[in-house]
Structure 1
Amino acid sequence: MATGQRLFVKVTRESLPQVKDKYPFLYLERGRLEIDDSSIKWIDSEANVVPLPVATLNALLLGPGTTVTHEAIKTATAANCAVCWVGEDSLLFYAAGFLPTADTRNLKQQIELAADPEKSVEVARRMYARRFPDADLQGKSLKEMMGMEGYRVRALYQAKAEEYQVGWKGRKFVPGKFDLGDITNQVLTASNAALYGILSSAVHSMGYSPHIGFIHSGSPLPFIYDLADLYKEELCIDLAFSLTRDMAGRYNKHKVSAAFRERVIDMDLLAKLAEDIPDMLGGKHARRRGK
């Protein structure tokens, strides 16, 4: 085995890779996670055995029909690999396991910012500035910026529909009734949920909370939804309209999963998250002032 690969060897906290150095995720369904010689193995429904390099994974997304042993969870968390429970093909995000290796300093900073109304709006302003680089957002209230974003997204949907020559009647999603949506909405729902899974695992592993947001509220994962909006245009919206044309009226979950994963890797999402989250929360600015 080549030097540097961390497969089938004991992982220490000192040797843990950073979030940005890891492969985004593996989605698993209808099988069992077990331990084999201190490594995790996946046994699928046809009794095929696949060793999983959890030290190089950011997250395992467990879909329907999966079972996991206590030892497998221990091994995954020791390798800083988050475990998330999702619906089929990650269409719904149910839960994420908290990683004990996380540092609470990031969580404390997040709570302090969210608890201060002025600082909280400043964080939201930095997030919106990514989507409105030419706009003067100083003095804008959160409600005003949310209105700007709503208009931008509606216009974006229409522009993508025209670019890819796809019929578009608006965003529609009914929980539990995935098949009722048109192809574009199905791809949007699937890719959005997969993105939430990746972001949740990354946020947990970096020591932040998905429950403390700055724009969204009254939802289970407001900070995840805040972050997702930074990346949806490329990872979800453009993907949905481009695949709608390619799939010619028949939803193909394998094509959606492969195309989404490819975009996540091409964007180098995990590396971006390792920089973007501290930047959104003012971490880089704080370090500059401390110099």
Structure 2
Amino acid sequence: MSEGTRLLVKVTRDTLPQVKDKYPFIYLERGRLEIDDSSIKWIDAEANVVPLPVATLNAILLGPGTTVTHEAVKIAAAANCSICWVGEDSLLFYAAGFLPTADTRNLRQQIELAADDEKSLNVARKMFARRFPDAELTDKTLQQMMGMEGHRVRTVYQTKAQEYQVGWKGRQFTPGKFEISDITNQVLTSCNAALYGILCSAVHSMGYSPHIGFIHSGSPLPFVYDLSDLYKEYLCIDLAFSLTRDLAGRYNKHKVSSAFRSRVIEMDLLAKVAVDIPELLGGKRARRHSK
């Protein structure tokens, strides 16, 4: 896969963030994370050694083919740099290591907003306003706005089906039975999962929790699902319908993955998320070491 089609580029000495940068994370794959004189270094598959400035990072995302030593985890934790285990380009999110000394300012703000019914509803209104810029939402309840959103999404499905001349019988997804869905639904399911993976990594890296949402509830990752609805129409829905005819009845994960990556790069999703979350929650952009 060429660097131009990668969502997260290979880390080298030249691509490391500068100390002056506020850098949320770096992504590593196919190599080893260990220590050298009490500092962390990355040794890639070609035996290149790259010292990592963990004090300037919020998180390290470990992709496929990586190993990490116990001592490296200790040093990262001491520097308040969390570690997440992800799929290639963070398109899947597996787990995260939590720091006992981490700055909890963003998490505290998120909890305070979610715990107050009126403040939580205001955040939800901001999220819905992104999809309904001309609607008056001031007096709408959460249930009313969710109803509006459900109608909007169903209309988007129908519009895209007509635009791309694709047959559409509705959204269908059965956990564990991916193959029984039609091609459009299979692409939707895959792209949704990839989007959730990226957002999980971003949310953890910025010090928020994916488990504390403002619209969704009763699900494993409500905040991730809240955020994903801001980006799904182009990244997932439009892509699924546009690819359906090209796939000609046979799902091709490589073609789907490549097309999804291209759209994420085009949208500059990671940069958008870094701006959108603080704006939606009414705070400033995250700083690493605030008091």
TM norm structure 2: 0.76
Q: 1:81 to 1:240 in 2, by over 3 A?
A: farther
Shift of 1:16: 5.9
Shift of 1:192: 0.8
Distance in structure 2 (CA, Å) of the matches to 1:96 and 1:161:
38
Shift of 1:103: 3.2
What is the SS of the residue equivalent to 1:283? coil
C-alpha root-mean-square deviation of aligned residues, in Å? 3.7
Matching of residue 139 in structure 1 with residue 139 in structure 2:
yes
2:269 corresponding residue in structure 1: 269
Q: Map 1:101-180; keep pairs closer than 5 Å.
A: 103-180=103-180
Q: 1:274 to 1:92 in 2, by over 3 A?
A: closer
* Ranges in structure 1 where 5+ consecutive residues have no aligned partner: 285-291
* Ranges in structure 2 where 5+ consecutive residues have no aligned partner: 1-9, 285-291
- For these two proteins, the number of residue pairs brought into alignment is 266
Task: Check whether the contact 1:83–1:96 (CA below 8 A) recurs between aligned residues.
Answer: yes
Distance in structure 2 (CA, Å) of the matches to 1:17 and 1:7:
18
1:7 corresponding residue in structure 2: 12
Q: Which amino acid aligns with 1:189?
A: T
Q: Which amino acid aligns with 1:84?
A: W
Distance in structure 2 (CA, Å) of the matches to 1:179 and 1:143:
33
Give 1 or 2: higher helix fraction: 1
Task: Check whether the contact 1:102–1:204 (CA below 8 A) recurs between aligned residues.
Answer: no
Distance in structure 2 (CA, Å) of the matches to 1:16 and 1:79:
16
Q: 1:153 to 1:99 in 2, by over 3 A?
A: farther
1:287 corresponding residue in structure 2: none
1:205 corresponding residue in structure 2: 205
Task: Check whether the contact 1:99–1:204 (CA below 8 A) recurs between aligned residues.
Answer: no
What is the SS of the residue equivalent to 2:175? coil
1:83 corresponding residue in structure 2: 84
* Percent of matched pairs sharing the same residue: 64
Cα displacement string for residues 161-180 of structure 1 (whole angstroms, at most 9, x for unaligned residues) = 11111111111111122112
2:217 corresponding residue in structure 1: 217
Shift of 1:12: 9.2
Distance in structure 2 (CA, Å) of the matches to 1:91 and 1:168:
26
Q: Which amino acid aligns with 2:108?
A: K
Task: Check whether the contact 1:212–1:222 (CA below 8 A) recurs between aligned residues.
Answer: yes
Q: Which amino acid aligns with 2:272?
A: K
Distance in structure 2 (CA, Å) of the matches to 1:83 and 1:59:
6
Q: Map 1:222-233; keep pairs closer than 5 Å.
A: 222-233=222-233
Task: Check whether the contact 1:128–1:145 (CA below 8 A) recurs between aligned residues.
Answer: yes
Matching of residue 69 in structure 1 with residue 68 in structure 2:
yes
